[in-house]
Amino acid sequence: MEQKLEFAFRQTMPAQPLHFDESKCVGCHACMEACMIDVMTPGEEGHPPVVSFPDECWYCGCCVMECQTGAITLRHPLMNQTRWVEKASLKKE
């Protein structure tokens, strides 16, 4: 009997680069205006913008710097969190 193989593509979740603290956000949308590549689109009045294109984010931090209330936290992907260290520091004493 012929064995039938099945394949499936694993879907990865889109990155969520921005986290808004709603208690700090005044809904000015200055962060959205600062983003050069329009990751965000307008949200409801008095609320943060909507992160409509999260995979396009460059993690440049411009929106974070523009926010006057400190309402945005940038969530870097794991790949960006790696740290460069001296090779010698990895050797056992």
Contacts with ligand SF4 by CB under 6 A lie at 17-18, 20, 25-31, 34-35, 37, 39, 48, 57-63, 66-67, 69, 71-72, 74
3-state secondary structure of 74: strand
Query: Between 41 and 69, whose beta carbon lies closer to ligand SF4?
Result: 69
Smallest distance from the beta carbon of 90 to ligand SF4, in angstroms?
31
3-state secondary structure of 60: coil
Smallest distance from the beta carbon of 7 to ligand SF4, in angstroms?
34
Helices (H) and strands (E) in the chain, counts: 2, 4
Cβ atoms of 26 and 46 closer than 8 Å? yes
